[in-house]
Amino acid sequence: MTWPVSLQIDAVDNGARTARALTAYRQFETPCFMPVGTRGTVRAVSMQDLEDIGFQVMLANAYHLALRPGAEVIAAMGGIHSFSGWNGAVLTDSGGYQTRSLAPVVDDNGVNFRSVYDGSMIRLTPESAVAIQELIGADIQMVLDQCPSLPAPIEVVKEAMLRTVEWARRAKKAHKREDQALFGIIQGGIDLPMRLESVQRTVECDFSGYAIGGLSVGEAHSEMLEVLEATVSMLPEGRPRYLMGVGDPVSLLEAISFGVDMFDCVFPTRLGRHGTVLSETGRYQLRRKENALEQGPLDPSCHCSTCMRWSRGYLRHLLMVKEPTAWRLISIHNLTWTNRLIIRAREAIRQGELSTLIKEVKEVWEMRDNGEGNPRNS
């Protein structure tokens, strides 16, 4: 028995919707952006910062937490909320995606890969991924999946899709915590019939929500959108839909217009640590010389704690001398900017004006069709 995340939909605008998602102990508004707390914190910022920005749900990586400090340690410390001091909802990623870059050897029963910490071999199975995430104790956990990089031969994509379906069934069977939601993951690359098969077989298992995986992994932006729209339209209306690893402004809004409710991406924080600032006029590099004497804020339209207090010139200085405070302050701005975009999308849906917002944002942010801008891991 898994916790059925109920979605109280309060407004719709064509395919898009705003809602309140209820987990066993917490709730959050959707559409929502989940900052990525890979190792139990979002890099360079604190839980207090995230709370002040207004985030209601964050993502943590079960794979990293299971290696350091260990799922048992987190359980002994009272679970991820009490351990990390985060009062909002938490979703844990199973680790399937992380193993992609760790020379994984996948068989029908699980995946072997090397630890990023000491190089030792680790085995993850559908059942052990569930057990680890039950110990960590997030509000929502994800099934173990296999996500091939694209482009890939159709047989490889199919094998990964069928394996993910089978692993989802096993995860559902293994899941014991009744106060925890479990999401299935749709795979199938950019092949529509394969996506359809993945949706049908995964929905049969009756999960608390559905994630759309295997997109933004090397395919063209236009292909991603076509597959995403078709996949979302096949998913049950009353369950949350989560698009994994996508976070550039235009893709977020387009996905919201199709009816996606949840997102995660390292885009705002990773860019921030490298000095790239998100703003109403697009993104820019703070390191550039012209910012050295700039007395205005990072973005004149932003009301985050960084923009309220510090100039571009000062923040550029911190960045140039590699002060960690720069990473924090710019990350706070980029996270606030992203959250504000999602809040604007919710407001636009309530007003029936999402398409106008998308047009405005597209004019500023021309999506480059090269897969850039969607880094998943921090």
- Judged by beta carbon, residue 74 or residue 304, the one nearer Zn ion is 304
Any contact of residue 304 with Zn ion (CB under 5 A)? yes
* Shortest separation between residue 280's beta carbon and Zn ion, angstroms: 10
Measured distance CA(181)–CA(163) in Å, rounded: 21
Measured distance CA(6)–CA(27) in Å, rounded: 10
The neighbour count for residue 54, using CB atoms within 10 Å, is 14
- Residue 49 known to be catalytic: no
- Judged by beta carbon, residue 48 or residue 351, the one nearer Zn ion is 48
Measured distance CA(303)–CA(309) in Å, rounded: 10
Any contact of residue 241 with Zn ion (CB under 5 A)? no
* Shortest separation between residue 331's beta carbon and Zn ion, angstroms: 11
Measured distance CA(314)–CA(331) in Å, rounded: 15
Of 53, 152, 302, 329, the one binding Zn ion (CB under 5 A) is: 302
Measured distance CA(241)–CA(209) in Å, rounded: 6
Candidates 30-38, 44-52, 263-271, 296-304; binding stretch for Zn ion (CB under 5 A): 296-304
Phi-psi category of 28—alpha, beta or left, where left has phi over 0 and alpha has psi -120 to 50?
A: beta
Question: Binding string to Zn ion for residues 323 to 342, with x set by CB under 5 A, is what?
Answer: ----------x---------
- Judged by beta carbon, residue 246 or residue 329, the one nearer Zn ion is 329
Any contact of residue 307 with Zn ion (CB under 5 A)? yes
Candidates 153-161, 188-196, 239-247, 295-303; binding stretch for Zn ion (CB under 5 A): 295-303
Task: Specify the amino acid at residue 95.
Answer: G
- Judged by beta carbon, residue 111 or residue 304, the one nearer Zn ion is 304
- Judged by beta carbon, residue 225 or residue 304, the one nearer Zn ion is 304
- From 93, 139, 261, 299, the catalytic residue: 93
Candidates 56-64, 189-197, 298-306, 313-321; binding stretch for Zn ion (CB under 5 A): 298-306
Any contact of residue 162 with Zn ion (CB under 5 A)? no
* Shortest separation between residue 301's beta carbon and Zn ion, angstroms: 9
Structure tokens at 232: 């979302």
- From 13, 261, 264, 299, the catalytic residue: 264
- Judged by beta carbon, residue 136 or residue 342, the one nearer Zn ion is 342
Structure tokens at 143: 């099934």
- Residue 107 known to be catalytic: no
293: Cβ contacts below 8 Å, ≥ 6 apart? 313
Any contact of residue 277 with Zn ion (CB under 5 A)? no
Alpha carbon of 234 to those of 190, 258, 377: distances in Å? 15, 11, 28
* Shortest separation between residue 297's beta carbon and Zn ion, angstroms: 6
Pairing assessment for the beta strands 27-30 and 16-22 based on DSSP bridges: antiparallel
Question: What are the b/e assignments for 159-191, b being 16+ CB within 10 Å?
Answer: bbbbbbbebbbbbbebbebeebbbbbbbbbbbe
Applying CB under 5 A, the residues found at the interface with Zn ion are 302, 304, 306-307, 333
Catalytic positions: 93, 264
